[in-house]
Chain A
Amino acid sequence: MIPLQHYLIVGALLFCLGMAIFLSKKNAIAALMGIELMLNAANINLVAFSQYDADKLAGQMFSLFVIVVAAAETAVGLAIIILVYSHYKTANLDEVNNLKEPK
């Protein structure tokens, strides 16, 4: 039996790495990868606590819903990134800084 703390520590490390990727990367797709890592880290915590809830399995149910929301979020995010790339000819978040058409 793995102690609960070890799941939580792996989850915390993955969350922090995801946050660092999201905050520090230039590329929009890399930022999206950071968000996916953070969602995965939250799922680890939900599943780890759900071991002690063998009747209702609320944590596992919630992590399934989180996975579905992550899929929807990635699809919409990538569509927006492709649109931004066709407009600015770059996916670099530092250069995407005006809403209006540059004149």
Chain B
Amino acid sequence: MTLTSIIFYVFAVLAVVSAGFILFTKNILYAAFALLATFLAVAAMYVFAGADFVAITQIIIYVGGILVLILFGVFLTTKPKGQQFFFTGSFGAKRAWVLTIALAGILIFVFYRINFSELPWISIAHKFNQVNQGTSIQKIGTNLLTTEVMPFEVIAVLLMAALMGAAYIASSVIRKENKK
């Protein structure tokens, strides 16, 4: 076992343990900070898969953007005492456990049954030693402006529309409170 694989497994365990902490904690603020740990560990795992640009994007957008938004949401919607954060009564936590454990069992069973190195494109990549290990920024930049330019533009319009819509929906709260 080399040093890199030990570091990878440390990050993998950190991601799963902090995600489990979100499930079992009663304090929503601790859950938000555990989500931070999960996002950072997942970003580290992207680096091990040769996806440096995706890892940096993950840190910038998830940790710098989405997590700050979630923290603002926590601050704006949680009462100072009596944090209502435990399990729901309407769906039933037990049914959720059963579904979750069944799905995890099926997925892990399937992953051990499938021989991935027999898939044609993976075996070809292994044979010609084309497994991606280096930097990927140049290829991503070229792809974004050639083959993927259409989804790139569509996602830009989607993001703008969603952010404008979010600002409009949230500002209607402020308008209603000003009226009172």
A interface size (C-beta, 8 A): 73
**Residues of B124-180 whose CB lies within 8 A of A:** 125-126, 130-132, 136, 139-140, 143-144, 147-148, 151, 155, 158-159, 162-163, 165-167, 169-170, 172-173, 176-177
A67 x B62 contact (CB < 8 A) = yes
Provide the residues of chain B in CB contact with A30, threshold 8 Å: 22, 28, 31, 85
Interface size class of B (residues with CB under 8 A): 35 or more
Provide the residues of chain A in CB contact with B8, threshold 8 Å: 2, 6
A75 x B163 contact (CB < 8 A) = yes
What are the interface flags for A49-92 relative to B under an 8 Å C-beta threshold, 1 for contact and 0 otherwise? 01111111100110111011111111110111111011000111
Chain B nearest CB: distance from A8 CB in Å?
A: 5
Q: How far is the CA of A83 from the CA of B168 in the complex (A)?
A: 11
B42 x A5 contact (CB < 8 A) = no
A64 x B84 contact (CB < 8 A) = no
B49 x A72 contact (CB < 8 A) = no
Provide the residues of chain A in CB contact with B74, threshold 8 Å: 29
Provide the residues of chain A in CB contact with B3, threshold 8 Å: none
What are the interface flags for A20-33 relative to B under an 8 Å C-beta threshold, 1 for contact and 0 otherwise? 11011111111011
**Residues of A2-56 whose CB lies within 8 A of B:** 2, 4-10, 12-21, 23-30, 32-34, 36-37, 40, 43-44, 47-48, 50-56
Residue from A19, A57, A68, A72 within 8 A of B99 (CB atoms): A19
A81 x B111 contact (CB < 8 A) = no
B69 x A20 contact (CB < 8 A) = no
Provide the residues of chain B in CB contact with A64, threshold 8 Å: 53-54, 57, 140
* With contact pairs A16-B104, A72-B162 given, residues A29 and B169 touching in the complex (Cβ less than 8 Å): no
Residue from A9, A23, A57, A68 within 8 A of B96 (CB atoms): A23
Residue from B46, B97, B125, B166 within 8 A of A20 (CB atoms): B97
Chain B nearest CB: distance from A78 CB in Å?
A: 4
Chain A nearest CB: distance from B25 CB in Å?
A: 10
Q: Does A94 contact B (CB under 8 A)?
A: yes
Q: How far is the CA of A60 from the CA of B45 in the complex (A)?
A: 13
* Chain B, residue nearest A26 (CB): B88
A2 x B70 contact (CB < 8 A) = no
Chain A nearest CB: distance from B118 CB in Å?
A: 12
Q: How far is the CA of A61 from the CA of B132 in the complex (A)?
A: 14
17 A–B contacts, CB within 8 A, in A order: A5-B111, A6-B8, A9-B111, A16-B100, A17-B23, A26-B84, A47-B54, A51-B50, A51-B132, A52-B130, A63-B51, A68-B159, A69-B155, A70-B62, A76-B166, A78-B69, A92-B84
List 4 other contacts, CB 8 Å, given A23-B91, A67-B61.
A13-B19, A20-B100, A75-B166, A86-B177
